[in-house]
Amino acid sequence: MKGLEKEYGDTDAGLRMLGFFIVVVSLLIFAVVLNGTDASAQGELAMIAPAGSISTRDGSVIPPFPTTGGWTELQGKSSDRYETRHFMYMVPSEPPAMELYVAADKRHEPPDAAFEMGLVRGYLTGFSGKAGFTPGSPVFQRRQIGSCQALCSTVQLSKGNRTIWFYAYIYPREPSLTFLTIRAEQDAGSSIETYLSGLHLK
């Protein structure tokens, strides 16, 4: 108590100032809890929150994928125009369940998904070249998933008698979200979209 008295003074005005400070701090803490946003995510394009979800600068929350594992951040690629963060959902002894690119246009122009579609094509070309698969060409279709619209594409990749499928989901927004995954199952889209329906987007 002596420390408080020393800082604010042993007067009624000082005590009123201390009370006001406590109320303001309490309201800020309550607002953070109510919004479900990790306070440390403010100002960052995207980050992994202590609970294991990913928080973005606009307050959107991307939960863990519904399988054992966790999000890991990789080195993002930024340019003069775009800032990006790259996350991968790692699963023990298995390929990654999902990859996520969070991107922000430094010019703050209306999102048109051109950058994100180029990112998808580049990823597909890079993966196919390294793994020896021949990919089809991605075709994007706008579709409602949960409460939000996304640009979706499913691409078949072949190598001899083996076939796998590449799934891409783009949410054109600020910042944008691009989800990528490669699966052995042709019908994996429904389970992926069930997960995406649970995103908390602002």
Q: What does the DSSP assignment read for 135-175?
A: E-----EEEEETTEEEEEEEEEEEETTEEEEEEEEEE-SSS
Cβ pair 174, 108 in contact under 8 A = yes
Using CA of residue 149, residue 86, residue 48, residue 66, what is the dihedral sign? positive
Q: Domain-by-domain residue ranges, the chain? A: 2-35, 40-196
User: Would you call 32 helix, strand, or coil by DSSP?
Assistant: helix
pLDDT of 164 above 90:
yes
* Residue the block writes with tokens 């023990």: 92
Convert the pLDDT of each residue in 56-108 to its tens digit: 999 999 999 999 999 999 986 778 899 999 999 999 999 999 999 999 999 98
CB-based contacts of 126, cutoff 8 Å, min separation 6: none
How large is the average pLDDT for residues 12-30? 35
Q: Specify the pLDDT at position 42.
A: 56
Q: What is the pTM of this model?
A: 0.78
Name which residue leads in pLDDT, 77 or 161: 161
Amino acid letter, residue 171 = Y
106 vs 79: CA distance, rounded Å: 9
How large is the average pLDDT for residues 49-56? 94
What topology does CATH give the domain 40-196? Protein Transport Mog1p; Chain A (3.40.1000)
How large is the average pLDDT for residues 138-159? 95
